[in-house]
Amino acid sequence: MKDAIVLVSGGLDSCVTATIARSLGYNLNFLHINYGQRTEKKELEAFNKISDHFGVKNRLIVDISHLKNIGGSSLTDFSMDVEKGDINRKSIPSTYVPFRNGNIVSIAVSWAEVIKASRIFIGVVEEDSSGYPDCRKSFYDAFNEVLKVGLAYTDLRIETPLIDKSKGEIVKIGLSLGAPFELTWSCYTDNDVACGKCDSCLLRLKGFKEAGIKDPIKYKIP
């Protein structure tokens, strides 16, 4: 059984991605990143619950709070407001954390070299997302080219199984594979009850609506 590292934020997409990796027969190793985000506590709690659900023993939690110190995002700079969600927005929202996924994937690659993992799974979405530049398929295609020349071994690849999926499709895939939606957390702003109005909440609710099922978590706005 080959090892895979799954980047698990605690959110919907990463949970479904973990479910996909398990269905493909990989031995799962979960990586979680704390970067000073508003919902760091809740995301870590969700990560541990999802890890317990999958019976994952090998977990790595990494602190990269220098991203908070660098700033530039309303997720890490609490003096900035998280703007009201707009799933039709064309511009990059203030919640974009500059090159966050590049930092996260690099950490996963370092760990993969040590444990000799053959795959890194990340639940990024390009089609139905907030438009972050480090969620584009072209970004991960380029990263995979870098891996061919920058590693001590060459069979490692980054897998993005949800990159071209809509939120509705993601929910349906998770439902078919038994993803524990009730354990996940997507809200950008709150650690108790999801706000229901940030981009992440709106996209999540859109997905469940398109899939024709009820989201099992609670929201402040019904």
Closest alpha carbon to 26 in 5, 55, 57? 5
- Strand pairing of 157-159 and 119-121? parallel
Residue 1 binned pLDDT confidence (cut-offs 50, 70, 90)? confident
- 48 belongs to a structural domain: yes
Residue 221 has a pLDDT of: 80
Which of 188 and 127 is assigned the larger pLDDT? Answer: 188
How many domains are contained in the chain? 1
Closest alpha carbon to 35 in 97, 83, 79, 94? 97
Residue span of the structural domain in which 69 resides? 3-211
Residue 177 has a pLDDT of: 98
For the question of whether the overall pTM of this predicted structure is more than 0.85, the answer is yes
- 219 belongs to a structural domain: no
- Given a cut of 80, whether residue 154 has pLDDT beyond it is no
- 193 belongs to a structural domain: yes
CATH number of residue 153's parent domain: 3.40.50.620
Residue 173 has a pLDDT of: 98
Residues facing 201 on adjacent strands: none
- Written as six digits, the tokens of 60 are 């790595």
Q: Please compute the mean of the pLDDT values over residues 115-137 and round it to a whole number.
A: 93
- 218 belongs to a structural domain: no
- Written as six digits, the tokens of 205 are 């609710």
For the chain, what is the HEC assignment? CCEEEEECCCCHHHHHHHHHHHHCCCEEEEEEEECCCCCHHHHHHHHHHHHHHHCCCCEEEEECCHHHHHCCCCCCCCCCCCCCCCCCCCCCCCCCCCCHHHHHHHHHHHHHHHHCCCEEECCCCCCCCCCCHHHCHHHHHHHHHHHHHHCCCCCCEEECCCCCCCHHHHHHHHHHHCCCHHHCCCCCCCCCCECCCCHHHHHHHHHHHHHCCCCCCCECCC
Closest alpha carbon to 95 in 140, 24, 39, 19? 39
- 49 belongs to a structural domain: yes
Half-sphere exposure in the Cβ direction for 12 (13 Å, CA): 28
7-51 pLDDT per residue, tens: 999 999 999 999 999 999 999 999 999 999 999 999 999 999 999
161-208 pLDDT per residue, tens: 999 999 999 999 999 999 999 999 999 999 999 999 999 999 999 999
